[in-house]
Amino acid sequence: MSKFLIAGLGNIGEEYTRTRHNIGFLVAERLAADLNKDETGGKLFSTDRLVTIHHTRFKGKGVVVIKPTTFMNLSGKAVQYWLQAEKIPVNHLLVVTDDLALPYGTLRMKKSGGAGGHNGLTDIIDTLQTENFPRLRFGIGSEFQRGKQVDYVLGEWSEDEQKILNERIDQAVLMIKSFIGIGIDRTMSDFNNK
């Protein structure tokens, strides 16, 4: 049976919950809820080594959704551990992350690439010793003054951003389901830049 690891990046702790940097967690949570509409009650995620985790299935494939509890800058350790523990090939990994270089709400899936200054991606690349893993980048824009990048990334969504946030998260979930169901090439051509 083929299996997929979906890693939503973010920081643990109440103070980070509603920040732009935690979009990976929000997408992971929505994905787990979407794939388990028939189940009632209970928490979707349980705590395990280096992560909170949810096991599910989609179109006959195993899906492991993780939210690392290592903090963003040490995400690689959690991703590597669960790839090995679940025996998942790196091309079946999808990392969901925020991206300053993309306009707010833009969703872009890529097969590989550098970290683009993102500390979570940098750590995953360094730990896995490869840039060749799929990622879904969620644009958070770059509407900040010089020297205020950290405040912006760790800031909460503006009122205007919140108006379309749910719709963009739903779109991200559709892209992830497409990635699992029909592969990255068709997903990129169907969804990128839309």
Catalytic positions, written as ranges: 21
Contact 71, 22 (CB under 8 A): no
Task: Give the number of other Cβ atoms within 10 Å of residue 25's Cβ.
Answer: 22
For residue 84, report the phi and psi dihedrals to the nearest 5 degrees: -70, -45
Q: Which residue has the tokens 């040490």?
A: 74
Distance separating alpha carbons of residues 106 and 162, to the nearest angstrom:
14
Rg of the chain over Cα atoms, rounded to whole angstroms, equals 15
Provide the token pair at 1: 């049976």
Alpha-carbon 181 to chain mean position: 17
